[in-house]
Structure 1
Amino acid sequence: MQDVFKKLYQSGDFWGGLAAMLVALPAAIAFGVTVYSAISPTHAALGALAGIIGATVIGLLASMLGGTDRLISAPCAPAAALLSAFAIELVGQGVPGEVIILMLLLLGVLAGMFQILFGFVGIGRLIKYIPYPVVSGYLTGVGLIIIGSQLGKLLGTPTDTRWYEALVTPALWNWRAVSVGLATMAVMWAGPSLTRRLPGTILGITAGIACYFALASQDESLLQLTANNLLIGPLGADGSGYIRSITSRWHEIGDLRLAQVAALLGNALTLAVLLSIDTLKTCVVLDQLTRSQHNPNRELVAQGIANMTSSAVGGIPGAGTMGATLVNLSSGAMTRASGLIEGMSALVFALLLSSFIAWIPVAALAGILIVVGIRMIDRGPLRFVQSADTVFDFGVVVSVVVVALTVGLIAASAAGVALAIILFLREQIGGSVVRHKFYVNQMSSNWHRPEAETRILEKKGDQAVIFELQGSLFFGTTQQLYGELEPELKSRNFVILDMKRVQSVDVTAAHLLTQVCDSLAERGAMLLLSNVRENLPNNRNLREFLAQTGVTENQETVRLFSELDSAIEWVEDRLLGEKETDAIALDDAVAPPLELHEMELFTNRKDETLADLEARLVKRSYAAGDVVYSHGEPGDEIYLIRRGTVKIFAPLGGGRSRHVATFGRGDFFGGLAFLDGLPRGNDAVAGSDTEFFILSLEEFNNISEEHKRLALTLLKALARSLALRLRHADNENAMLQEY
């Protein structure tokens, strides 16, 4: 255990948590005093204690349960603002002070319960989809707000002076506060270049305290702790009545009426939303700065438990706070242990070292926060103004900053979500939903057809057009899609839409597909949809959706295929005037096996020559689904298909493969290994019950000694077939590269 504490002390987590506590604890005390002073000035000390409890409990539990590294959770401004307004409203209604305190505690407990519910239903995932310009604007806005909130404290102006008034009125400045603040900022800024052993935050606070006492040596009034606005001052909390002050708050719970409890629900929901947004925004900014990834739903559950517990034991609720978190990060923290250090040190410092905290200059803390705020300002988006393509993104950043400064951070969050939607729509509408466009004579199926049929398809293939679609088909892209389809609807007999890369389809896009079907049906043409999946990325069953919206209602004008190759194959058969593809495969399987003289390769050969050849061939049969050979196997045999079909699969790595060719009755395969003697480069699988003639290279060499013309004919046929396949593959590859 001693070694653990030693390592923790030597790590950045210790110094980061300690520095974060020095920022979070005074703020928590101030928030508590703000809330409880709204009830009565006599409750200020109780408010200070509530702030200490909140900083301790939330800091410990949120860090322990949340799991987000470096995140510091503590009482925050949104909680203080809402609770203060709630307390003021109850005071106006004449509600007794003790009852108001109890209702404040219940409000915090209910808000925590709502946050837990948010986490369980998965609301936290939505925060992941906020784009960089929105995060950048929020980050800069928070930095400017922090700077603005601390300028008055840095300059030592009266508390009711606005930041811009303080900035332009030097007569209000307290030169001693300015000296302390500037000394703190200078040392904190230069800290990393001075030493790496201590974080700049600690060095800055030390410099600020040293500067203050140097000034106090010349002015004895600065050594007065009471009524000294330059210092934090007494916390107003000690350990003597700690347990009693907590338990006494729940004694009046029986006096609450049901109507009063019901009235809490709306405020609790509002508070839960504010705290959740504050926490998750801080997590997003932290991810941006550290290139990490938090778990939003887990964090919401942890924050909810922390807020419930804090309120139950007399503290005020809070959230992941930006200022303390960034101080923690800049001080070298690496893990969530820094949050535990912050929570424990808050309790220790408040109860045991309250006199030390009391002597920290307010201007020193203000200087630290101003440096943090300056570092938060994201200067990267300034590059966006250099290009017309990114000017809108820069406008989004500016808009979020302006809303954050003029209205508030919560409104900036709402504006950011709205702008995120606009950014999404812009990208979806700006990009093309048509990835590729081909005709069937440019992109054939994997079925290897005889040369005569290939020539026919080259002439008639332009009757069928293929569109490979991508992205989201929704109301913003339907007009663009229709603009691409319209010229082809008037002249093509078959229109194939491949949906493999489609992410989502909405009702407007489905209506467009229905119109396409109707337009094709008027000419007797057909719409074919391939890769119609049952599970899109948005979890929608595309097949069911198309059926529900009426797209696939007319089976005579629209057909669905599991893959693009099957759709092209079906069209090729129509263009060749053949039957259904499935029927063709069935005929190949049940048709009688071909003899050598029936194969096109050996037509017009002498019977005795074929008899001699057949004697050297091996007959072999495979059931549907059997592996004929596998990738990497040695093999120098060529397979002549007597009956059935064979599918060739190319390996893609990771146990995956792709169907690249289909051979039928009368065709052959395995020619590459037969010619070069290298291991098989793909997998061959029987597509149906199949029978082969198999000729090995050894037997070919033997027969070539006696029947040189037959051997030459076989080699020429093999070379010609491979050349045609290679030529076709080159054409398709060139077409793909063109796009």
Structure 2
Amino acid sequence: MTNPFKFDFSNLKGDFIGGLTAGIVALPLALAFGDQTALGAMSGLYGAIAIAILAALFGGTNTQVSGPTAPMTVVSASVIASAMLEVGVTDAYEAIGLILATFFIAGAIQVFFGIIKLGRFIKYIPYPVVSGFMSGIGVIIIITQIFPLLGYDASQDVELVTGKLPIAEEQILEGIIKEEAQDGVLKGVMDGTVIQETNARFSAVTAEDIETRAGKLAQRQSKGTVGVFQLLTRPFSFPGGINWLNLLLGIGTVMIIYGFKRITKAVPSSLVALVVLTLVAVFFVEPGAVPVIGAVDGGLPQIRLSFFAALFDLGNLGIILNFGATLAALGAIDSLLTSVVADNITKTKHDPNQELIGQGIGNMGAAFIGGLPGAGATLRTVINIESGGKTKISGIVAGVFLLAVLLGLSGVVSYIPKAVLAGILLTVGIGIIDYKGLRHLRSVPIGDAAVMLVVLGLTVFVGLLEAVAVGMVMATLLFMKKSADIVESEARGESLTEFSQEKPWADEGDLIKRLGDRVYIKHLDGPLFFGFVSSFQAIMRQLPNLEVLVIRMREVPYIDQSGLYALEDAILDLQKRNVAVVFTGMNDQIRDMLERINLIPGLVDTEYVFKDFKTCRSWLSERLEEGNLDQVSDRQQDMPAKIGDNIDEA
């Protein structure tokens, strides 16, 4: 593992600018993610500060900028809601011990993952699972922002709240009985005295108390995906259901975020929207006309140690471990995928196990100050790299900047309209959906498409951990079936070896000897699938300088969606290096897949796809003798990369 305390000061200016830029981007997102949960906007900022600094200090990816992310926030909101239900309260801070204990355990589990070197297994998560999961997160965020954009407050919906009154009474009575049990009042069978005391305490509960709890129950229902569908018509069914001024602020936020990017990307558009529309609300909107964040605690966050008591409560251990494992697994996947993105941009190699330890320590630290857990954030990491960040100092700078904002501007946060945060989250949800994967649903193998759709549906309507678990099982079964089919048809399907000096096949003769280092022939000897993608990408990165790469696919029986996209990325990278790419010997299934997603002829023209190596060998000899090989790479570079379109990342 890497040394977390080894600093590189050779790029101090670039790291400062990169970290500062990433911190500016993180500010509105942290507040928006916090406001998505019952802990409030400041919990997102607290988490962003702790995780950014600690994960950068102890992590294994030099350019990673961490903090609350969309997937982690969705799960955190579910953890908070479940903890409140378990304790029987409607105020999140009444269940803060159980909530923070869960967040702390999630970080501890991530540290454990790193210690037992579980990070190396991230490469075995297939693309359809990741795609369906991320798209499902995007859909959840979009759905749950409908009511905040409309300004609909379920707690003010009299008809809805009235329907919750019996449940509220029942919960209050259960809470009283539970308190008495904890205080030792209930011993064995309840006698008349205890019943009288319980009745006396329940009689002291006012109608206002019951109505307040019923309002919070209604509000909690309106924050869930299923609840939004159940209450979708409510904003239109009673007077004042839609706050049109609130809706205009939300729409204005979305327009500024997308429109300002067309003007300049030097300043984060989400920050521009946050500042501009908050000023509009302060100076031009009557106080109370739109919901705002409201009063927040200023100065340094409170250190919370009381959650340790919840760790030793055996009655709560089940929910802590269940949700803690969910957050830990999700955070590990989220962070390591971002690390892979950073590696691809910087051409470096992260330490996955050290990264898990860093993320775990960051989440444990966030729990101590009441912050949301998080993970490596793709958008912030990419912005850090593009702005000059190269070492872990950049991630620390991002966290220190947010800390400075907390100390100096926390009073301003109370004036931010919730509609603005909803608009920011709406664009995050739209950006996180994997449009490329959805666009190719009809083109990829039906099994991959089914996995993606099932994971997406389970993510939205059931749960995140369940979605990933089911997706992994489905992908594994599909791969096992495909492998069995290959064996039955007597096709070769052994594992591909790591990059090494290629041994010529019999039909290649002395071609390599004659052509020297101008042409490289790469033999692929098995299925190009999700488990091999990482190794394949490493092979492509290690290729020496050359003029043309011949990829022999005679022994490749099958390619899945992960393999398709890995092949696409490799070709795009090689063409940037002026390397021409040609294929030989691919079977009908593989060629059909490449044509369906327009890799052929979108990136590699059909004239460079040879049925057998004999034809390719003649073509190579002819081109080399005539000196026309440069024309091939130039022509390939001019081809439109129609399947390489990038999508915005959240």
Query: Which category of TM-score, normalised to the shorter sequence, fits these structures?
Result: 0.5 to 0.7
Q: What letter matches 1:238 in structure 2?
A: G
Q: In structure 1, what is the equivalent of residue 291 of structure 2?
A: 230
Identify the residue that residue 346 of structure 1 maps to in structure 2: 402
Q: Distance in 2 between matches of 1:168 and 1:330?
A: 40
Aligned residues with identical type, % of pairs: 29
CA distance in 1, matches of 2:148, 2:417: 10
What is the TM-score normalised by the length of structure 2? 0.54
CA positional deviation for 1:176: 1.1
Q: Is the 8 A contact 2:59 2:359 kept in 1?
A: yes
Is 2:41 the partner of 1:58? no
Q: 2:370 matched to which residue of 1? A: 315
Give me the whole-angstrom Cα distance separating, in 2, the residues matched to 1:294 and 1:426. Answer: 33
1:402 corresponds, among 438, 457, 461, to 457
User: Is residue 391 of structure 1 aligned with residue 385 of structure 2?
Assistant: no
CA 1:114/1:279 → structure 2, altered by over 3 Å: closer, same or farther?
A: closer
Give the number of the structure with larger relative contact order, counting CA–CA contacts within 8 Å between residues 6 or more apart: 2
Name the residue aligned to 1:33. 39
Corresponding residue for residue 176 of structure 1: 245
Shift in alpha-carbon separation, 1:213–1:229, aligned structure 2, 3 A: closer
Count of residues in correspondence between the two structures: 415
Amino acid at match of 1:406: F
**Distance of aligned partners of 1:26 and 1:354 in 2 relative to their CA distance in 1, 3 Å threshold:** farther
CA distance in 1, matches of 2:438, 2:303: 51
1:353 aligned counterpart, secondary structure: helix
Correspondence for 2:436 among 380, 391, 407: 380
Distance of 2:478 and 2:350 partners within structure 1: 23
C-alpha separation in 2, matches of 1:166 and 1:329: 37
Cα pair 1:17 1:333 within 8 Å, conserved:
no
Task: Please tell me whether residue 206 in structure 1 is matched to residue 275 in structure 2.
Answer: yes
Q: Deviations over 1:655-690 (max 9, x none)?
A: xxxxxxxxxxxxxxxxxxxxxxxxxxxxxxxxxxxx
Partners of 2:419 and 2:127 lie apart in 1 by 33
Contact preservation (8 Å) 1:143, 1:372: yes
Alignment map for 1:529-540 (pairs within 5 Å): none
Show the counterpart of 1:120: 115
Deviation by residue 1:616-654 (Cα, 9 ceiling, x = unmatched) = xxxxxxxxxxxxxxxxxxxxxxxxxxxxxxxxxxxxxxx
Deviations 1:60-112 (A, max 9, x none): 101322244444223844345335534654569xxxx99x7666655554443
**Higher Cα Rg, which structure:** 1
Residues 137-146 or 78-87, more deviating: 78-87
Cα drift, residue 186 of structure 1: 1.0
Distance 2:366 2:467 in 1: 28
Q: Distance in 1 between matches of 2:269 and 2:355?
A: 29
The alignment's TM-score, normalised by the length of structure 1, stands at 0.48
- CA RMSD in angstroms comes to 4.6
Q: Which residue of 1 aligns with 2:419?
A: 363
Cα 1:12–1:195 change in 2 (3 A) is farther
Q: Does 1:286 align with 2:342?
A: no
Would the alpha carbon gap of residues 30 and 394 (structure 1) be closer, same or farther in structure 2, given more than 3 Å must change? closer
Distance 1:113 1:375 in 2: 31
Query: Which residue does the alignment assign to 1:140?
Result: 135
Does the residue aligned with 1:403 lie in a helix, a strand or coil?
A: helix
Equivalent positions of 1:315-334 (< 5 A) are 315-316=370-371, 318-320=373-375, 325-326=378-379, 329=382
Partner of 2:287: 221
Shift of 1:376: 1.8
* Residue number among 294, 299, 307 corresponding to 2:355 in the alignment: 299
Residue 263 of structure 2, aligned match among 169, 194, 208: 194
Contact 1:12 1:334 (C-alpha < 8 Å) held by counterparts: yes
Tell me by how many angstroms 1:372 deviates: 2.0
Uncovered stretches (5+) of structure 2, i.e. residues with no partner: 1-7, 155-218, 494-505, 507-523, 528-554, 557-612, 618-650
Which string of whole-angstrom CA distances, capped at 9 and with x for unpartnered residues, describes residues 317-338 of structure 1? 613176xx54665796675656
Give the aligned partner of residue 15 of structure 1: 21
Amino acid at match of 1:59: A
Q: Distance in 1 between matches of 2:49 and 2:422?
A: 22
Instruction: Report the 3-state secondary structure (helix = DSSP H, G, I; strand = E; otherwise coil) of the residue aligned with 2:295.
Output: coil
Aligned-partner residue type, residue 298 of structure 2: D
Question: 1:166–1:173: 8 Å Cα contact kept in structure 2?
Answer: no
Check whether the contact 1:138–1:400 (CA below 8 A) recurs between aligned residues. yes
1:687-706 matches, cutoff 5 A:
none
The offset of 1:402, in angstroms, is 0.8
Contact 1:433–1:470 (8 Å) recurs in 2: no
Q: C-alpha displacement at 1:408, in angstroms?
A: 2.2
- Residue 82 in structure 1 maps to residue 79 in structure 2: yes
Distance 2:482 2:388 in 1: 36
Q: CA deviation at 1:190?
A: 1.7
Question: SS of 2:356's equivalent?
Answer: helix
Of 326-335 and 206-215, deviating more is: 326-335
Per the TM alignment, residue 381 of structure 1 is displaced from its structure 2 partner at its CA by 2.8
Say whether the 8 Å CA contact 1:179–1:211 is kept in structure 2: no
